[in-house]
A and B are shown apart, each in its own frame.
Chain A
């Protein structure tokens, strides 16, 4: 019996593999080959092997400072998106159909607006003569304008705004699948609302939370337009450095090495995060 069932299984695996082939080929051609090309270029100079592009990353303090600032912005943005996005996702999941549709529409709508437009909108809102400053001055809360934009703060505000849907949406789908009975059971067994939230609700929403946070973290590391427009020239991200290096050194390698270093940092962070937080268990069990 077992022997007779084996061939169809193998055929099925073969079929699955053949169905996967186009996708795998696409990944190989569009992702792996360019990636290898990037690494190759980063160790080339004038037709020979070199580590000069990597040595520069270590010896020039500007590079370390830029990496540090990029990861700091990414961490703050991720935290802000989670803290601000959780209540939104919760409200959408718990409310009636009309309100839910409205909340989700408000979350998704900004995604249809150009990043450029939203960056300029934030400039208008946050600048010295902007809405926030003139409002605070009218209320007598401040006497001279506060610098809210053309710095890291303005960059973080706009980036958080742009990336928020990427936390809210996966979180919302996860929260929707939490069985209400489990919460009722926890409460009926004497759990206070805070206890039920931290020990039942939060752990069950973790898969959505983590995938959303990971998405925001990685996306924000590659932001270019927002820090360029709202950073005032003092907020430098790695992507800006990559662009600048092409003009500065006239060598693709100078830019490639920065990209490779960024990629390595991201892998390292996710590897370390995976050691601390059992990501596969949380996401995989569902």
Chain B
């Protein structure tokens, strides 16, 4: 009797940690900083309460290599990842990301098809916009990528992101390609146009924080930057402005690791995390737009906030949506590889 009870206790002790996690907990991964803190307040904590699950958090600015390792070893420390939609799709094709069970994600019906792949749903929006120093350009700032490329009419130091995503699109827009004719991308044309501006680029930035700092400190006079980063330094009083005109709308998506042992719980989490209410609440803490466009319809976002959000109808009309489909195709991989040679040569 005592022996049996001892055994039971031991089994409970050994099994408790793992078993509890397996049933009602997930590890969620995003990109850290104030962006992830905003999600914790608006989405992660409320969803954890609503579903009665525990949500552990981790951060990785570039989750790809880590997901690859976890897939290769078959040991998942992560379950749900918030990362660029094209990486979710790339991972899906390579067997690193699990296909989503859309029957268990009713909230996904709010999303247009362009925001979904078999492996991912849109989670939040951001935009790569043309930002500039208002002290430098005053009443006549650059308003299009053609202006950005016009170094005679708009002298000054410039920065672009050290990444072809959205930068290639900006080059094509500067070259006169209409926003609805960007895809499939003409890489030769884009790189020809990029070669023109290359000598005038002071910095190729690699992180959103760096881009914001370059502009706020006056190190560059105009640059491509993420709108939420620009509006954040704007609020701190930095002399910076930006235009939605020809902005390149992008979104990150939620996807689930294929080796995750908690796929059912992870799927419930994904559904809840793209719900209208929590998605609308996200805009109370950041200038990222909701991945669920119906979040704009429930009256939960104050009209004053709309000006700074990238994917309201008014703001989105002036921008182009970056194609997840094209960037996760072999042509997208090709663009990434040619970029390295372009920047380095």
| A127, A232, A250, most chain B CB atoms within 10 A | A232
Report whether B341 and A150 are in contact in the complex, using a CB–CB cutoff of 8 Å: no
Which of B204, B333, B340 touches A62 (beta carbons < 8 Å)?
A: B340
Report whether B219 and A61 are in contact in the complex, using a CB–CB cutoff of 8 Å: no
| B90, B157, B213, B340, most chain A CB atoms within 10 A | B340
Report whether B344 and A250 are in contact in the complex, using a CB–CB cutoff of 8 Å: no
Q: Taking CB as reference atom, which chain B residue is nearest A236?
A: B344
Encoded as 1 (CB less than 8 Å from any A CB) or 0, chain B from 90 to 133 comes to: 10001000000000000000000000000000000000000000
Report whether A150 and B219 are in contact in the complex, using a CB–CB cutoff of 8 Å: yes
Residue A142, interface by CB 8 Å: no
Q: B94 — which chain A residues lie within 8 A by C-beta?
A: 250
Question: Which A residues, 89 to 141, have Cβ-Cβ distances below 8 Å to chain B?
Answer: 123, 127-129
Residue A274, interface by CB 8 Å: no
Q: Taking CB as reference atom, which chain A residue is nearest B343?
A: A233
Report whether B344 and A129 are in contact in the complex, using a CB–CB cutoff of 8 Å: no
Whether A66 touches B65, Cβ cut-off 8 Å, given contacts A147-B202, A248-B336, is no
Q: B341 — which chain A residues lie within 8 A by C-beta?
A: 60-62
Encoded as 1 (CB less than 8 Å from any A CB) or 0, chain B from 225 to 249 comes to: 0000000000000000000000000
Residue A246, interface by CB 8 Å: yes
Whether A129 touches B218, Cβ cut-off 8 Å, given contacts A62-B344, A247-B65, A250-B68, is yes
B67 CB to nearest chain A CB (Å): 11
Report whether A246 and B65 are in contact in the complex, using a CB–CB cutoff of 8 Å: yes
Q: A248 — which chain B residues lie within 8 A by C-beta?
A: 333, 336-337, 340
Q: A60 — which chain B residues lie within 8 A by C-beta?
A: 340-341
Residue B5, interface by CB 8 Å: no
Report whether A129 and B219 are in contact in the complex, using a CB–CB cutoff of 8 Å: yes
Residue A244, interface by CB 8 Å: yes
Q: Taking CB as reference atom, which chain A residue is nearest B94?
A: A250
Whether A233 touches B340, Cβ cut-off 8 Å, given contacts A129-B217, A129-B218, A129-B219, is no
Report whether B64 and A150 are in contact in the complex, using a CB–CB cutoff of 8 Å: no
Q: B333 — which chain A residues lie within 8 A by C-beta?
A: 248
Encoded as 1 (CB less than 8 Å from any B CB) or 0, chain A from 52 to 70 comes to: 0000000011100110000
| A123, A234, A249, most chain B CB atoms within 10 A | A234
How far is B96's CA from A250's CA once the two chains are assembled, in angstroms?
11
Encoded as 1 (CB less than 8 Å from any B CB) or 0, chain A from 231 to 242 comes to: 011101000000
Report whether B345 and A65 are in contact in the complex, using a CB–CB cutoff of 8 Å: yes
Q: A246 — which chain B residues lie within 8 A by C-beta?
A: 64-65, 68
Report whether A233 and B65 are in contact in the complex, using a CB–CB cutoff of 8 Å: no
Question: Which B residues, 50 to 84, have Cβ-Cβ distances below 8 Å to chain A?
Answer: 62, 64-65, 68
Report whether B344 and A232 are in contact in the complex, using a CB–CB cutoff of 8 Å: no
Residue B205, interface by CB 8 Å: yes
Q: B65 — which chain A residues lie within 8 A by C-beta?
A: 246-247
Report whether A233 and B218 are in contact in the complex, using a CB–CB cutoff of 8 Å: no
Which of B162, B336, B344 touches A65 (beta carbons < 8 Å)?
A: B344
B333 CB to nearest chain A CB (Å): 8
Which of A65, A66, A128 touches B218 (beta carbons < 8 Å)?
A: A128
Report whether B206 and A62 are in contact in the complex, using a CB–CB cutoff of 8 Å: no
Report whether B62 and A232 are in contact in the complex, using a CB–CB cutoff of 8 Å: no
Report whether A247 and B64 are in contact in the complex, using a CB–CB cutoff of 8 Å: yes
Report whether B345 and A233 are in contact in the complex, using a CB–CB cutoff of 8 Å: no
Question: Which B residues, 159 to 197, have Cβ-Cβ distances below 8 Å to chain A?
Answer: 162
B34 CB to nearest chain A CB (Å): 18
Question: Which A residues, 223 to 280, have Cβ-Cβ distances below 8 Å to chain B?
Answer: 228-229, 232-234, 236, 244, 246-250
How far is B162's CA from A236's CA once the two chains are assembled, in angstroms?
11
B160 CB to nearest chain A CB (Å): 8
Q: A244 — which chain B residues lie within 8 A by C-beta?
A: 340
How far is B128's CA from A189's CA once the two chains are assembled, in angstroms?
74
B210 CB to nearest chain A CB (Å): 8
How far is B77's CA from A28's CA once the two chains are assembled, in angstroms?
29
Report whether A233 and B203 are in contact in the complex, using a CB–CB cutoff of 8 Å: yes
Q: B64 — which chain A residues lie within 8 A by C-beta?
A: 246-247
Report whether A128 and B219 are in contact in the complex, using a CB–CB cutoff of 8 Å: yes
How far is B202's CA from A229's CA once the two chains are assembled, in angstroms?
13
How far is B336's CA from A249's CA once the two chains are assembled, in angstroms?
9
Which of A62, A147, A228 touches B345 (beta carbons < 8 Å)?
A: A62
B218 CB to nearest chain A CB (Å): 5
How far is B62's CA from A229's CA once the two chains are assembled, in angstroms?
16
Q: A62 — which chain B residues lie within 8 A by C-beta?
A: 340-341, 343-345
Report whether A228 and B206 are in contact in the complex, using a CB–CB cutoff of 8 Å: yes
How far is B205's CA from A61's CA once the two chains are assembled, in angstroms?
22
Q: Taking CB as reference atom, which chain A residue is nearest B214?
A: A150
Give the interface of A toward B (CB within 8 A): 60-62, 65-66, 123, 127-129, 147, 149-150, 228-229, 232-234, 236, 244, 246-250
What are 8 A-B contacts with C-beta separation under 8 Å?
A60-B340, A62-B343, A62-B345, A129-B218, A232-B204, A233-B205, A246-B64, A247-B65
Question: Knowing that A62-B345, A128-B157, A229-B210 are A-B contacts, what are 15 other residue pairs whose CB atoms are under 8 Å apart, sorted by A's residue number?
Answer: A61-B341, A61-B344, A123-B213, A127-B217, A128-B219, A129-B218, A147-B202, A150-B219, A233-B206, A233-B343, A236-B343, A236-B344, A246-B65, A247-B65, A250-B90
